[in-house]
Chains A and B, each alone.
Chain A
Amino acid sequence: MPTLTTLYFDQLEYSDDAAFQFAAGIPGFEEHTAFLFIQQPHTNPLVFMQSLQDPAVCFIGLPAKVVDSDYHLELSPEEAIALGMPAGETSRIEANLLSLVLLTFAENTEPVANLMSPIVLNLQTHRGIQAIQLGSSYSLRHPLVLEQAAACS
């Protein structure tokens, strides 16, 4: 079983079929064509998107539904093909897809989530893309609301 040095988790053993293939990388990281998506109990619901090409490249993301429970993903036919989805079935296969939004941290402000450019994983084919939501109103820097509302009694 291959071992990877990761940015946040030291050495990590993984099985080859756990990796997700990004044929075109993502903007700015075109040469990074395979990532592991790591979750662990202490950091749930965070998901760590660790590059297999470079241990120093690890994004931190959240399932889009955690940030916006109504999050709606649109995919172009080209994106559906890149994810290995059968043609013409884009509406029915959402069950196999997971959208993650990447987080950006800045000093003294709450983290922001990139809802405009979700990482979309096909859990069946283990292919992934960054699917920029053209023409949507989703923000590139959506502030995370971290304070929980008090429970109504």
Chain B
Amino acid sequence: MLVMRRRAGESLLLGNEIEIEILEVGPTRVKLGIVAPPHLAIVRKEVLLTRAENLTASQNQDPRVIAWLSRKLAPRHTGTVNSLTPLTNPPKNFLDSF
């Protein structure tokens, strides 16, 4: 990893087209200004990590795993959240068999 020291107001270049300026240095955070071509997506790393985690979280789960988890969590049950989707028709209960 290349390490470089810069002060507020100074900047650095990545290639010819990308400039990163240190705008402000606070006690815990720095404020950066970025100049880059519009086709380059600039995102915080946390967004990329969240995307990857969302993709994993969306994978279909075995109903048995869900049933097991529900049983484990039941003691913490704090009541239904009223405004969430009420089940207007009782669904075929996929947990009945467990």
Interface size on A, residues (CB 8 A): 54
Residues of B within 8 A of A10 (CB): 91-92, 94
The one of A29, A38, A56, A140 that contacts B87, using a Cβ cutoff of 8 Å: A38
Q: Is the interface of A mostly helix, strand, loop or mixed?
A: loop
Please tell me which one of the listed residues A7, A36, A45 contacts residue B85 in the complex, with CB atoms under 8 A apart. Answer: A36
Cβ-defined contact, A66 with B78, below 8 A: yes
* Contact B52 A43, beta carbon cutoff 8 Å: no
List chain B residues, Cβ under 8 A from A45. Answer: 73-74, 76-78
Chain B window 83-95, contacts with chain A (Cβ cutoff 8 Å), 1 for yes, 0 for no: 1111111011111
Residues of chain B whose beta carbon lies under 8 Å from any beta carbon of chain A: 28-29, 44, 46-61, 63, 65-67, 69-70, 72-78, 80-81, 83-89, 91-95
Contacts A105-B61, A114-B57 supplied; 8 other A-B pairs, CB < 8 Å: A7-B60, A9-B87, A27-B50, A36-B85, A40-B87, A45-B74, A57-B58, A98-B81
